[in-house]
Amino acid sequence: MADEVKRGLEGVVAATTKLSFIDGAAGILEYCGYNITDIARFATFEEVMYLLWYGRLPTQKELRAFSQKIRRERTIDSSVIRILQTCAKHIDAMDALRTAVSYLAQCDPDLSNNSAEANIRKGIRLAAKFPTIVAAFYRVKQGKKVIAPMLNLSSGANFLYMLRGTIPNEVEANAMETDFILTAEHELNASTFTTRVTVSTLSDLHSAICSGISTLKGPLHGGARAEVYKMLDKIQKPERAEAFIQRALKQGQKIMGFGHRVYKTYDPRAILFKETALALANFKKDKKWYMIATKVEDVVIKELVEKLGKPIYPNVDFYTGPVYKYLDIPSELTTAIFALGRIAGWVAHALEQYADNRLIRPNALYIGPHNLKYVPLEQR
């Protein structure tokens, strides 16, 4: 039907893409044709960025050159730090990140250049600086000295270093790197779609990325991670998990980190995050947070999947809870960290939209009244 409305645009195909493929029934996710499991286990985040932006895996020489470009752009100057210092201390890190990106736009020599080459240069600058901005803002809020990035560290290791001031061990660094990779790209999610809508007007890349940040901040998108983190804090002990979830379900509450618009089975990214959480738990010799999470999962699946037949399984957000607990990452940074990975996908979709653009402008079905008679103000 021409007038059929798909609420939330569910099931509507709005674009073609070569960036990612999702089979929600089978639980498959691919980046440019490569299964997410292989990518997460064997690739680096810089390699994933190259794949998404250029459509193929790099050679060793290409990756080395690309990584050097990324790492040289990690540093933020004193003017950006001053911007972060002027931000209100109570605001979310996503707000500070959005503010910093807006400021960086006016400093970028390629701001008004929308060629593919210029946008990759801008993408490199933004992707490189995102972790530095988030770590710097957090340390400013804590009244601590901002730590400059280390150019010889991987993306994950460098972020943890800037956050803490100490170089992380290999298990922690790999966990953070895996996080960035698993959140890099996911087809037309809300923030990516918003990014493409902005690009479709032929606005600049910085404006499009600000759109993505603003959308990702919402609790039904990236903000769900913070809610999972808070839930773990409330439960505190594995033996309390079942009663907590049973009570929440009886009250009709949504269990954050479960269910997905696309996946009707286990989110493949959740499987990998679960593996990461277990690796950290074993390394730390502390399975508390992992056990709480698995107990929550068991109860939700028993009550919603097995008893009611609802396809509500863990999504990408759920096992970030124990992962961030083990990495000593505060809940206030969980959404911003999502952006540190998703910037790769946002830039990739911007490049794809610019290359074959048509203004994105859907229709709306009007359901209001017609032919009302205007009543003068003095008669109302």
Q: Which entry of 186, 206, 221, 260 is annotated as an active-site residue? A: 260
Give how far the C-alpha of residue 234 lies from the chain's centroid of Cα atoms, to the nearest Å.
24
Residue 269, CA atoms < 13 Å, CB-side half-sphere: 26
- Across the chain, where does the E strand assignment appear? 20-23, 28-31, 34-35
Q: Which entry of 179, 267, 317, 349 is annotated as an active-site residue? A: 317
**20-23 and 34-35 as β-strands: parallel, antiparallel, unpaired?**
unpaired
How far, CA to CA in Å, does 79 sit from each of 76, 83, 86, 107?
8, 6, 11, 10
Q: What is the Cα–Cα distance from 250 to 209, expressed in whole angstroms? A: 40
Show the DSSP H helices in 301-368 as ranges.
Answer: 320-326, 334-355
Q: What is the Cα–Cα distance from 124 to 132, expressed in whole angstroms? A: 13
Q: What is the Cα–Cα distance from 255 to 312, expressed in whole angstroms? A: 10
- Across 33-192, where does the E strand assignment appear? 34-35
Told to judge if 260 belongs to the known catalytic residues of this protein, a careful annotator would answer yes
Residue 271, CA atoms < 13 Å, CB-side half-sphere: 13
Told to judge if 23 belongs to the known catalytic residues of this protein, a careful annotator would answer no
Bridge partners for 22 per DSSP: 29
Amino acid of residue 144:
K
Residue that the structure tokens 């940074």 belong to: 333
Q: What is the Cα–Cα distance from 304 to 203, expressed in whole angstroms? A: 44
How far, CA to CA in Å, does 54 sit from each of 18, 238, 287?
11, 45, 40
Instruction: Kindly report the backbone phi and psi dihedral angles of residue 59, in degrees, each rounded to the nearest multiple of 5, phi listed first.
Output: -75, 170
Enzyme catalytic residues: 260, 317
